[in-house]
Homo-oligomer: A and B are copies of this chain.
């Protein structure tokens, strides 16, 4: 998707319908015959992001020699993913899209798969897998957001990740 390339290079504010039309060398209305509106474009990018996210997390988990090591790898890979392609991560979590987990029925399979890829490394530690995974995910997401908005010291990123991992292990 052209939107993703532009966003990664120049930020999402540079992604306009006219700019996309230029990029694909068509006029603006053509875009609206493929997507209902701009939000639908973001949503498509986000879904693509969740697919890549899931496979990155699964890889990271597979590289782990122990359950603990798998958890560490996933936590680290999570932040690497977020900071390696900030625009993609933004589309997945920060920009307004209609993507929800809320109701089981209408949740996109890509979102459920992403959740499962995190739950897989949580499962060995404690009984309440769903609760712990939600909270683990939230912690990692919070680390990303607060660092990205300049509220956390970038230099201590690895230590914060290690702390979250310790929390999960000990809790």
Contact = CB atoms under 8 A, between A and B. Distances in A.
Contact of A141 (B132, B142, B150): B142
Interface residues of A, number: 37
A163 B135 CA distance: 8
A170 B111 CA distance: 31
Interface of A: 93-94, 99-102, 111, 128, 130-132, 134-135, 137-143, 145-146, 149-153, 156, 159-160, 163-164, 166-168, 170-171
B139 A135 contact: yes
Determine how many copies of this chain the complex contains: 2
Which one of A93, A111, A149 has the highest number of Cβ atoms from chain B below 10 Å of its Cβ?
A: A149
B131 A156 contact: yes
Contacts of A141: 142, 145-146
